[in-house]
Structure 1
Amino acid sequence: MGDVGLWGLFLSSFISSTLMPGGSEVLLAYLLTQSELSAVELLIAAAAGNCLGGTLTYGMGWWLSSRWPLKMPENKRQKQALVLVQRYGAVSLLFSWLPLIGDPLCLAAGWIRCHLLYSLLLICVGKTLRYSLIVLAVS
């Protein structure tokens, strides 16, 4: 179950961090209680998948901005995310872990071309902190 659990958690975390819904937090909590894998191994797998997914979403925003001019999106969550990123810049990506608005934040940051390395660092910090809190709460 070790490799399957880690890869499954990685994949679930990756999917959860793109524009598609997922349940990686529930899977992490389950594996923390039912698996022989260490909390550190599980945290690394979840954080790595989620950071990679956020990076992909940021990249999609970057790519989209080169194809279509920036205009206010019609989707409410995307509009909120764009306003937040325009106001606070890459710092808003510390909240990329939040449900519903987190993924659009990554997309908006890429779209308006926030500083790449700073953005990716803040995406990873926010997402890793979220999974760290889950590990602490369940362990």
Structure 2
Amino acid sequence: MPDWLISLLHWLAMPEAGLGTLFVVSFVSATLLPVGSEAALFGLLKLNPDLFWPAIAVATVGNTLGGALNWFIGAGAHRVIDRARHKKTELHALDWLQRFGPKACLLSWLPIIGDPLTAVAGWLRFPFWPCVVYMAIGKLLRYLVMTAALLWLFPGGLPL
């Protein structure tokens, strides 16, 4: 492995840089970009096991804020389309989602559909703060379960 890569990995493993990096990766992974944050969380915890709760908290906050950004994108897109069409836009296929309201954001942890769901919550104009609370609960539970499972399955680290 090149020296510059080893230096970069050591720098990213430092608790100060590691938590910041985890925040950015968790935030970006909650947007509509196809990035996963579990590997970054697992790697940080393997290098710094004493950071378990701070890392879970940072990943949850970063991922929840990314979901909140999706909510704002969805709400903004709805306003722009309504103005362009000069009438309200309704999607009948999403009626079932409206029955659940902000509680549907508990499913924001799901792969593939979770991140778009947060944008749809904004599109449907679900109340922002209840959506954020449900997102945070779902994402916290996902990080706890995924991290515990990875640490149990790979106690010595992932095989390379």
TM-score, length-scaled by structure 2? 0.75
Displacement after TM superposition at 1:97 (Å): 0.9
One-letter identity of the residue aligned with 1:44? A
Distance 2:34 2:20 in 1: 18
Report whether the alignment pairs 1:51 with 2:64: yes
Distance 1:10 1:88 in 2: 29
Distance 2:65 2:131 in 1: 13
Q: Number of paired residues?
A: 132
CA contact (8 A) 2:64 2:135 kept: yes
Identity %: 37
Q: Deviations over 1:32-75 (max 9, x none)?
A: 11225510111011111101000000011111111113354xxx
Structure 1 residue ranges (4+ consecutive) displaced by more than 6 angstroms after TM superposition: none
Give the greater-gyration-radius structure (CA): 2
Q: Which residue of 2 aligns with 1:75?
A: none
Distance 2:37 2:144 in 1: 13
Displacement after TM superposition at 1:84 (Å): 5.1
Greater length-normalized contact order (CA 8 Å, ≥ 6 residues apart): 1
Query: Kindly tell me: are residues 84 and 32 of structure 1, through their superposed partners in 2, closer, same or farther at Cα, counting changes over 3 Å?
Result: farther
TM-score, length-scaled by structure 1? 0.86
CA contact (8 A) 1:2 1:37 kept: no
